[in-house]
Amino acid sequence: MAFEDVEEVATFDKYWKPENIGDDIEGNVFEIVKDQWNNDRIVLDMGDDENGDVITTTLPSHAQLRNFIPNLNVGDYIRVELVKQIPPTAEQLERQPDRSPTNIYKVQKDPEKAISYEE
């Protein structure tokens, strides 16, 4: 009996955590939610599961990424890419030794893939 290739099924974590330059994600803006610190966060629709339920992932609440939210609408199809990481300064590390780099993103939208969510 011959072996056949098996397709990999994409899985999505509840939260998208880009780590490397070039990491990206695409999907429709499902909703904008507030996190525990009252920051806006984008929730992306990543498609439906086998039961027809929407699979979502939440983007980081990084300040630079939040700056794009006023120009986005629910239903917009977007691509978010991590394009740069700015290391913390010595002064920042002195105050907060475990400080992470500042992530810089590029956000694009594809009007042809925008959808409308029913109420």
pLDDT by residue (tens digit) across 79-104? 999 999 999 998 988 999 898 899 99
The whole-number pLDDT of residue 46 equals 92
Q: Are 41 and 35 in contact (CB under 8 A)?
A: yes
Cα Rg, the chain, nearest whole Å: 17
Once rounded to an integer, what is the mean pLDDT over residues 57-73?
Answer: 94
Once rounded to an integer, what is the mean pLDDT over residues 31-53?
Answer: 91
List the strands of the sheet with 77-86, edge to edge: 54-58, 40-48, 24-34, 77-86, 102-109
Once rounded to an integer, what is the mean pLDDT over residues 34-41?
Answer: 92
pTM: 0.82
